[in-house]
Structure 1
Amino acid sequence: MFRSLRNRNYRLFATGQVVSNTGTWMQRIAQDWLVLELTHSSGTALGITTGLQFLPLLLFGLWGGVIADRYPKRRVLMITQVSMGALALVLGLLAISGTAQVWHVYVLAFGLGMATVVDNPTRQAFAVEMVGRRDLPNAIALNSAIFNGARLVGPAVAGVLITVIGTGPVFLVNAASYGAVLLGLQAMRADDLHPAEPVKRAKGQLVEGLRYVRGRRDLVIILVLVGFVATFGMNLQTTIALVAREVFRTGASSFGLATSMMALGAVTGALLSARRASRPRLRLLLGAALVFGVLEIVTGVMPTYWSFLLMLVPTGIALMTFTTSANATMQLSVAPEMRGRVMGLYMLVFLGTNPVGAPFIGWVAETFGPRLSIVLGGIVCATVPLVVAAFARRRPGGTPDGTGDGARDRPRDRSQGAVTA
């Protein structure tokens, strides 16, 4: 299950991620709390802050992938980590000094989003350089487990610290947490890495990446699946609050418990994915998306609060199985010189479509009830893989595993000297 940790470089990276991700989740809670304090509980201001943090991804997400392909990824990650740590430090100093204003939070949230634009695809593409192709699915699954484990711990720690010492010091703790990642990156053995050759700067590289994906039916299928699941299914995490409040008439503590149950399922799903030794196939992706959709429908119609909580665990497992499989399949299916740009597009679809679907799902929840919004998301997630599978089988030579694309669609991995598909 933890075979990637046998790699010294990945152990250093994973240790830094445990610390840094916990700090990141702490800052998310502290940032929301600070905005509410500065604006006297303005939900609009809270939405603007979140929107500004996602806006750079929508505007510049593809360029982040270009940067990941052009420059050594370890060096790029050091720059992004320093940038994000500096932004957290500034916000912490402003909060502690009592001079913080809401526009400060807006600017710093946008700056954090700009750093994330480059950090996300670079970090994704760097995984294979640390552990190699064989252990990449395991490393991706462990990364997801670390992220969701921090999601369980970080908010709880932040809540205690905010109560005891205020919001400002929480930002400073997060700023310091980036030091763990920087130390890990610095301590890595360069000879043990498997770096892809940086792509020389040239015109049209972003368009080249888009054309590359467009010419690969298997990659397009994955992006379609991820786009629909992220847009309609992953907003379940948003509607949990409405279900807890409006359907079961529970308080904030119950909402927190529901969120933790979803995160528990996500951690479990990531660890189960880490046990698989073989590379994921498209059939697994289609099956995981279908199961997630069905479980989401069942979750939406649960009659009691406790049955609703219990269903969140397997739903989270299915969602994490899908997302980790999609990530690994994308990375293992592309040429090394294209990996940054492809993962930039993947992260744009994975994260960028979520805010697009959130207003629609929110409108459905407000107009027809939160249960229906969950059921509708599940119906979409269960229908799309069936349509994709039917389409793949109707294509000459097509199969649900995507094995009918032909060698002309598969780039040669220059680092391995073998066709990757």
Structure 2
Amino acid sequence: MRWWSAANLVSNAGTWMQLTVQNLLVLQVTGSAAMTGLSVAVQAAPGLLLGVAGGAVVDSWPRKVTAAVSQAVLGVVAFATAALVAFGMLNTGVLMALAAVTGLIATVDGPACALLGNDLVEDRDVPSAIALGSVVHSVGRLAGAALAGGAVAWFGTAAAYVANGLSFLAVAAVIPFLKPVRRPQRAARSPEGRTPAAAGGSRPARKRARGGAREGLAFFLRRPRLVALAGITGVSAVFGRNYSLTLAVLVTGPLAAGAGDFGTVATVLAVGGTVGAVLAGRLSRPSVRLVAAMAATGALLQVAAGLSPSLTVLLLLVAPMAVVESVSDTAGTTVLQTDPPAHLRGRVLGVWRSASTGWGLAGPPLLGLLMEVAGPRGALVAGGLAVAGAIGAGALWHGRRTLSATVVPARRAAEAEPLPELAPVA
């Protein structure tokens, strides 16, 4: 797990180096902001359309092989992009093709690497492993963004892609030496009520995944806690969390601060996210209820942030906001990756990737429209209230449903119980 985490830290730093300069590169090549947005959409499209199919591939093939191959191919794509940039051969068509290929590979790479990390520890340590992955992601993001400026200044734009390619190869080189924990076979049930043995659980993985993508989607839709988790995360992603957009406009607009001040806000968000992931690592059994409580708390803090009278007050609110939202995200990821039976986890993650890509694409335009109508303060306040209100309404509905499921059967049983016979009167 230590080797895997170190390799992922290098990979995350390389990825964020590339992401830091990628939009700038597209803008330089095409000269169009619209084409820059289109390249982002093209890269996200495979996750939206083929996420479930990518998860089925992860369930069908050995996880180490799948992760190693996908990481190596992503490295090749990064090196190819660097070469095209260096020789001035990059054009709009090639850019879109590379974006589509990257997005397609990521539909397999994402769930494969996530589940491989969980395979390296005992079941009781999976929440801590997921939290460690969140810490690695946050630290890699900070390091990558910081290194990107120096690399581009000294060696040019292609250097960021070369560094990212090397980071992918580092992960691919480590994977063959990882030793997953041996877990006993368990009699978990499939959505149809069959045990893994009856459903092919004792056969090789590619035969066990014969149900294909539809089985993963059916399991997801029949699992109320996963549907609730998707609802909480989706509404939070659409009406909150897009702080690179909303807080940037708030800081440079109503608060009359500069780009450097927003950099300070972004740093506080990243540090708070890291602290939240560390705290989440101490959770032994995260639940959807915890995810909802933390998401609602973050939404209320977002409302307060929208009303901030000064940058200092905003910074004081942003720190706990990042902490509770990181705890919510990490707890939700733990539920998502541990709730399904092992032979369905890749497909469930594929369903999640499709859903999360959808709300990830819908969120920024909706928030942009809301800011046009209500301004940055109004967008933050309205978005936070929408998130908190939706979570509160869902909690009330769940509570009433649970109460009905408990009280009605008890009342029917009491009504069906025969009355005691009365003793004869003398």
TM-score (norm 1): 0.87
Q: Spell out the pairing of 1:15-414 with structure 2 (5 A cutoff).
A: 15-40=6-31, 42-189=32-179, 192-194=181-183, 198-200=205-207, 204-276=211-283, 278-396=284-402
Q: Is the 8 A contact 1:273 1:324 kept in 2?
A: yes
**Distance across 2 between alignment mates of 1:238 and 1:179:** 33
1:203, distance to aligned residue in structure 2 (A): 6.1
Counterpart residue number, 1:406:
none
* Partner secondary structure for residue 100 of structure 1: coil
1:258, distance to aligned residue in structure 2 (A): 2.0
Structure 1 residues 252, 162: CA separation in 2 closer, same or farther (over 3 Å shift)?
Answer: farther
Query: Which 4+ stretches in 1 moved above 3 angstroms?
Result: 192-197, 201-204, 396-399
**Distance across 2 between alignment mates of 1:249 and 1:55:** 37
Counterpart residue number, 1:405:
none
Q: Is the 8 A contact 1:230 1:351 kept in 2?
A: no
Structure 1 or 2, whichever has the larger Rg, is: 2
* Partner secondary structure for residue 118 of structure 1: helix
**Distance across 1 between alignment mates of 2:253 and 2:396:** 39
* Partner secondary structure for residue 279 of structure 1: coil
Structure 1 residues 284, 124: CA separation in 2 closer, same or farther (over 3 Å shift)?
Answer: same
Structure 1: segments with no counterpart, 5+ residues:
1-9, 400-421
**Distance across 1 between alignment mates of 2:158 and 2:94:** 13
* Partner secondary structure for residue 334 of structure 1: coil
**Distance across 1 between alignment mates of 2:262 and 2:30:** 23
Aligned AA (2:221):
R
1:167, distance to aligned residue in structure 2 (A): 0.4
Instruction: Give me the identity figure in percent.
Output: 31
**Distance across 2 between alignment mates of 1:398 and 1:63:** 38
Q: Is the 8 A contact 2:66 2:112 kept in 1?
A: yes
Counterpart residue number, 2:196:
none
* Partner secondary structure for residue 311 of structure 1: helix
How far does the alpha carbon of each residue in 1:11-32 deviate from its partner, in whole angstroms, 9 at most, with x for none? 1211110000000000001212
Aligned AA (1:180):
A
Which stretch shows the higher mean deviation, 121-130 or 214-223? 121-130
**Distance across 1 between alignment mates of 2:362 and 2:79:** 30
* Partner secondary structure for residue 182 of structure 1: helix
Q: Is the 8 A contact 1:234 1:354 kept in 2?
A: no
Structure 1 residues 218, 11: CA separation in 2 closer, same or farther (over 3 Å shift)?
Answer: same
How far does the alpha carbon of each residue in 1:41-66 deviate from its partner, in whole angstroms, 9 at most, with x for none? x3212211211111111111111111
How far does the alpha carbon of each residue in 1:343-398 deviate from its partner, in whole angstroms, 9 at most, with x for none? 11223333431111211111111232112222222112212221221122112468
Aligned AA (2:62):
P
Aligned AA (2:158):
G
Structure 2: segments with no counterpart, 5+ residues:
186-203, 406-426
**Distance across 2 between alignment mates of 1:331 and 1:71:** 18
Q: Is the 8 A contact 2:138 2:274 kept in 1?
A: yes
* Partner secondary structure for residue 269 of structure 1: helix
**Distance across 2 between alignment mates of 1:293 and 1:23:** 32
**Distance across 2 between alignment mates of 1:125 and 1:227:** 22
**Distance across 2 between alignment mates of 1:218 and 1:335:** 14
The CA RMSD measured in Å over matched residues stands at 2.0
Structure 1 residues 359, 206: CA separation in 2 closer, same or farther (over 3 Å shift)?
Answer: same
1:272, distance to aligned residue in structure 2 (A): 1.0
Which stretch shows the higher mean deviation, 388-397 or 44-53? 388-397
1:140, distance to aligned residue in structure 2 (A): 0.6
1:37, distance to aligned residue in structure 2 (A): 2.1
**Distance across 2 between alignment mates of 1:347 and 1:195:** 29
**Distance across 2 between alignment mates of 1:163 and 1:248:** 31
